[in-house]
Amino acid sequence: MNDVVDAIFSHPPKPPCTFLLEGDTNNMFIVLFSILIEGTKRLYGPQATPSTLTNQQVQRIQSYMESLGYSLKYRVRDLEPGSQHKGIDIWFVPYIPKYTCHGIPYV
């Protein structure tokens, strides 16, 4: 796993779908999540957590994940109504390129 993280996060983000991940699709979330966590630590230190990252940092991480062919999706939610404790749901979806026609984006 360290070799994969080194190859991806030792350089500026590559274009989407530069790297090809192969393996059991049942374990793909675990693999992607592990890469996400280790890459985030590599970029922002071992204490980095979702609550300490800025939007700009999350966008940078998103670029790295897109180089693997996946987009990072997340949702922050209250663990209990009225609580200050937050939870975060994280999932990955295959990267879909954004195209434009005469400058008008469409998917």
Contacts for 36 with CB less than 8 Å, ≥ 6 apart: 61, 65, 72, 90
Quote the pTM value. Answer: 0.83
- Give the containing element (helix H, strand E) for 100: strand 99-101
Tokens (6 digits) for 45: 């230190």
Q: Identify the band that residue 47 occupies on the pLDDT scale cut at 50, 70 and 90.
A: very high
Report whether 30 contacts 48 (CB < 8 A). Answer: no
Report whether 50 contacts 76 (CB < 8 A). Answer: yes
The residue assigned the tokens 């985030």 is 40
pLDDT at residue 107 in the model:
56
pLDDT at 15 over 80: yes
